[in-house]
Structure 1
């Protein structure tokens, strides 16, 4: 219900033929640029705060620009950018990026790609990515200890400077080798361009980073690379033929753009880089050994487009697996129940849920109950009026639920903050006067922050956490909260690799049903009279439905990297210091 800002989207194209080839075959030198546009539009779901593109020309002469970049802000950024560029922008190397902010940084300055200029062609670097680093403080200290002076404190800019520093060293290595062979002038430049080893740059840069990432880069000398984190947290897919290499965040993007079957698209292995040299040589390099794999399960539940073959099947399975729990919540009264969903990412799980009931022989009644209206502007300053506006973000279909006779089941992909549920959804469903409302989540309870790219990093954001704290307080167990805080502070004195996660002890005090009941109590307003029950996906059900995507830290607290554990301890300590010590508790 609450739209999450999340992982960004990347698009990369390396044309392997001269531009004249595409002009002759496809009627335009901008063939690659057109494909980049399609790839970005097909990933518009991954970023609506800003977008950017970059290109590199391989055959430029001194005095002519060879590395281009355009950026824009807002949901129409893609259209704005491509309305500005023409055929002169089209190069052999192309990069596109769609951005959602996950760290609070906004403005054109923080829109990818980032560009580092230098008069030596090979030292120019353009960088973008789908990433969030958990140890940026450590990297910043390392850079400054080396004498560097980063202009901006963000993981994107610090990565640019660190990688740029290593790129400089690689150029200097080749410069020395060229001089040793007796080369001079442009002969040195040509030697450097021909002998760049981007693997050296990545190995010496990325070993320092903790986080989930897909990092993409172009150099002025014509090197292209895409690297995926060794835990496989963030996704990357690629396609290669004799004409081009293309990379995207989602498999169907490549299938649709280049008219491919799923088997033609490959997933970039964790810890590996796809690299294309200036001469067009394509290789897969293992930069870091793969770690315990934890691909993001939220990609499968919510973030990626549902037209992926496997994701569609998995989302249907997530819905179908909930049938027994929903039946129990209904007391077996399936026949007197109307089933619906919250638009629109829960639609596929909804189909799976219906299919599960029909397989049991039920003549299921299904209707579209909730309608999401345009975003209402909160120009009213009074809290009461503003809350009243928020209650009308959704509307409801009247006349399809028999008042006080029918149950009403609505399924969503996730329940995060609960704000929209409390202020809008539950209230409009209550207007229909069902006998009972069952709200279903195709994902488990979200209990822990994410630090790898999703915009949910504060403990108090989660309705599950607030319910846990509320139960502890109401049952006279507040001391546990302070005990966990003290444990977190002790953990934070250790290195990230040594830390455990005491926050888990809070949730261990209650079972899922107890937390569900407390969430209902917090979500129900005084004007709602209908009985309400929550049903969540189980962790076991999630893993059964989404095999191969075991990244479940937001549900379990099992963070794949040390940085995730450390930041969660810090997030709980921050919450306690803000909400407990400030109030004198």
Structure 2
């Protein structure tokens, strides 16, 4: 994506199923879990640039000893910063008592973060202040070991107001209006209820030893029941990991499977991450041995080591996020790699038609770097067309072909060049608003001398276009200087028309160039009354239960074809005084579904939200735009 948007937190969870001494003996270090957690987080650092956090819990610790450790950081290299902080503790041991580094039990008794249950989080803040208090994991503390709760997640709830009201009705008074707080307190409430219920039960059964009862509570706790009660009214996309103070743990996934969660377990370890390649790399695990947590299910690891996958909400139609496949997740996942290449191949017919199949006078390139894989697919498609063309020219002739013509036909090849080069250092330099417009124009540089002035068409692939500002302010200006007669911007994703409300920072209608194009067309064609009518419908539905709300914003796009909107987008993003003709090609929804058949969550493009709360959010986003409020449509 040529323009960055904030998105997608990352989760890493590890449960060591053996004593620390086992890993000391087999792998030469009692820090096996910490080392693996560091790898899992580093291999997912694409998912969090606003901060990170780590928490660990030690099992079977004597009373009076600390068993929960947590550290969070907002440093620019937050993951490294956290593990440097942790590593210093062991460096001090190595320096002062070197023999103790080989004593796993001593380390567990005396040094923090030497726990058997480990959790890591990488944060991308979709709203609110970026502060250390906003960084996961979140901790709910209590003197009862079983009532302690640590959570971290990749999630956003659309119905925070409703969830807060329920907490008030339970008698709670949350300190903050945020979904992280509501999730923590909702699970915490039913955790307290479960603990108290078991305590009362064992008392009624004649048990008077409170110490023994505490152990019985830990053994008997029904984690799935707690999650079922907690998540009953959640509306959103989520993967949430949690650890209870005594050692039970869970990772839960929303009923539509919007947010990703992958896991692997054997007799040594249980591991969960937001992206599959992190597990593959850190533990050298084959692709086929890593599974997805099923939608509406939680992977539950009891303190005993028992691992189950239990349903806490009835799954609904699976709508896993397609943006995960197009852009957010790393392309090192084999399935994602194939899907992105297929997205590129599926664009070929549109691209070839736009350039009139003139391969000799077309240069193919991409905007770094996430579009690269789709670009390979597009080039494969072009090469397939060239082979078909050569075969038809050489075989399907009645007359004899000359040597010169044979040479001409066989020499035809796709002209593939890297033309747009991102200047990362320059981007970090841009700080002053007054200078931003001028400086943004130079965020990308170009390779000169590869375009035939006035005769070549330049095809430039991007993986998606959200606002179009970087294209207008930088890329198109720089590409136009190369002298092409035409520039074709190709998006491997369809037109982004609607806001997200499940964890990606795209919630303002005015940020979408497709929306800007549709509004422009409405005004130009004398259909501006549709804006007012849509506003009234959105306002009228704002107090309805979310289950009764429909997406009224679809009416803004209804009068126009996809091509009309694409043509208007091309006009909007074309800088003044551009010499080349500019065209924009978008992926079709049908082709998106063909390329990513198991990830049909396309609400950004179609407006078909997988949960009722999504319709409330899109209508609220439109109301905000009409009323001139530059704010997110969800809390």
**Range into which the TM-score falls when normalised by the shorter chain:** over 0.9
Does 1:162 pair with 2:158? no
> How far, CA to CA, are the matches of 1:387 and 1:544 in structure 2?
39
Decide which moves more: 279-288 or 173-182: 173-182
- Distance of aligned partners of 1:57 and 1:579 in 2 relative to their CA distance in 1, 3 Å threshold: closer
Q: 2:448 and 2:523 mapped to 1: Cα distance? A: 40
Could you tell me the TM-score, scaled by structure 2's length?
0.90
Q: 1:313 aligns with which of 335, 338, 342?
A: 338
Moved more, 531-540 or 356-365: 356-365
Partner residue in 2 for 1:208: 233
- Which residue in the other structure is 2:429 paired with? 377
Alignment of 1:178-257 (within 5 A): 178-183=202-207, 184-257=209-282
Say whether residues 1:565 and 2:615 are aligned partners.
yes
Q: Structure 1 residues 507, 163: closer, same or farther in 2, change over 3 A?
A: same
For residue 171 of structure 1, what is the aligned residue in structure 2? Answer: 195
> How far off its partner does 1:67 sit?
0.7
> In the aligned structure 1, how far is the partner of 2:229 from the partner of 2:441?
52
Residues 281-331 of structure 1 show CA distances to partners (whole Å, capped at 9, x for unaligned) of: 111111111101100000000001001111000000000100110011112
Q: Could you tell me how far apart the structure 1 residues matched to 2:201 and 2:249 are?
A: 22
Task: Work out the CA distance in 2 between the residues paired with 1:287 and 1:233.
Answer: 16
| Equivalent in the alignment of 2:528 | 478
1:492–1:570 contact (8 Å) kept in structure 2: yes
Pairing partner for 2:463 from 413, 424, 447: 413
2:37 maps to 36
Matches within 5 A, 1:76-475: 76-85=77-86, 86=89, 88=111, 89-183=113-207, 184-361=209-386, 363-374=413-424, 375-380=427-432, 382=434, 385-475=435-525
CA shift at 1:351, angstroms?
Answer: 0.2
**Contact 1:15–1:92 (Cα < 8 Å) also in 2:** yes
The answer (yes or no) to whether the contact 1:48–1:74 under 8 Å persists in 2 is: no
Distance 2:138 2:147 in 1: 14
Partner of 2:63: 62
Three-state SS of the structure 1 residue aligned to 2:359 is: coil
Q: Which moved more, 1:455-464 or 1:477-486?
A: 477-486
Separation in structure 2 between the aligned mates of residue 380 and residue 305 of structure 1, nearest angstrom: 32
Q: Give the TM-score of the pair, scaled to structure 1.
A: 0.97
Distance change >3 Å, CA 452–CA 380, structure 1 → 2? closer
Structure 2: gaps (5+ residues): 91-110, 387-411, 631-635
**Greater shift in the superposed pair: 400-409 or 438-447:** 400-409
Displacement of 1:4: 1.7
* 8 Å contact from structure 1 (residues 376, 393) kept in 2: no
Cα displacement (A) at 1:568: 0.5
2:544 corresponds, among 485, 494, 517, to: 494
Change (3 A) 1:393 1:136: same
Task: Give the Cα–Cα distance (whole angstroms) in 2 for the partners of residues 386 and 136 of structure 1.
Answer: 36
Residue 51 of structure 1 aligns with which residue? Answer: 52
The SS at the match of 1:569 is helix
SS at match of 2:187: helix
In the other structure, the counterpart of 2:21 is: 20
**2:75/2:81 contact within 8 Å kept:** no
Distance 2:160 2:521 in 1: 35
Aligned to 1:533, what secondary structure does the other structure show?
Answer: strand
Matched positions, count:
578
Measure the CA separation in 1 of the matches of 2:470 and 2:366: 14
Query: Mind listing any 5+ residue stretches in structure 1 that lack a counterpart?
Result: 581-585
Deviation at 1:535, TM superposition (A): 0.5
Q: CA deviation at 1:197?
A: 1.2
2:485 and 2:183 map into 1 onto residues whose CA distance is: 56
For residue 215 of structure 1, give the secondary structure of its aligned residue in structure 2: strand
Note the C-alpha offset of 1:379. Answer: 4.1
Q: Is the 8 A contact 2:485 2:579 kept in 1?
A: no
Give the match's secondary structure for 2:627.
helix
Displacement of 1:376: 4.3
| 8 A contact 1:376–1:390 mirrored in 2 | no
Could you tell which deviates more after superposition, 300-309 or 185-194? 185-194
Q: CA deviation at 1:206?
A: 0.7
| Deviation of 1:74 (Å) | 3.5
Q: Residues 178, 290 of structure 1: CA spacing in aligned structure 2 closer, same or farther, 3 A cutoff?
A: same
Write the distance in 1 (CA, Å) between the matches of 2:477 and 2:299: 51
Cα deviation digits, residues 222-266 of structure 1 (max 9, x gap): 111000000000000000000010000011111111101111101
Confirm or deny: 8 A CA contact 1:49 1:101 kept in the other structure: yes
Shift of 1:378: 3.2
Q: Report the 3-state secondary structure (helix = DSSP H, G, I; strand = E; otherwise coil) of the residue aligned with 1:349.
A: helix
Distance in 2 (CA, whole Å) between partners of 1:455 and 1:370 is: 26
Kindly indicate whether the alpha-carbon contact (under 8 Å) linking 2:298 and 2:310 is maintained by their aligned counterparts in 1: yes
Partner of 1:516 in structure 2? 566
Compared with structure 1, are the counterparts of its residues 146 and 59 closer, same or farther at alpha carbon in structure 2 (3 Å cutoff)? closer
For residues 487 and 395 of structure 1, do their structure 2 counterparts lie closer, same or farther at Cα, with a shift above 3 Å needed? same
Residue 27 of structure 1, CA deviation: 1.2
Tell me which residue corresponds to 2:405.
none
Is contact 2:60-2:246 (8 Å) kept? no
Deviation string 1:515-565 (CA, Å, 9 cap, x unpaired) is: 111111111222212101000000000000001110000000000000000
Mark the structure with the bigger radius of gyration. 2
- Structure 2 counterpart SS, 1:78: helix
The answer for the alignment partner of 2:396 in structure 1 is none
Q: Which moved more, 1:346-355 or 1:69-78?
A: 69-78
Which residue does the alignment assign to 1:583? Answer: none
Secondary structure of the structure 2 residue equivalent to 1:360: helix
For 2:293 and 2:114, the matched residues in 1 are separated by 26
**Aligned partners of 1:34, 1:368: CA distance in 2, in Å?**
38
Kept after mapping to 2: 8 A contact 1:391/1:423:
yes
Taking the aligned partners of 2:619 and 2:433, their CA distance within structure 1 comes to 36
In the aligned structure 2, how far is the partner of 1:411 from the partner of 1:566? 34
Alignment correspondent of 2:597: 547
1:278 and 1:484 map into 2 onto residues whose CA distance is 53
Q: Distance in 2 between matches of 1:168 and 1:363?
A: 68
How big is each residue's C-alpha offset from its partner over 1:376-406, in whole Å with a ceiling of 9 and x where there is no partner?
4334453xx4311110010010011111121
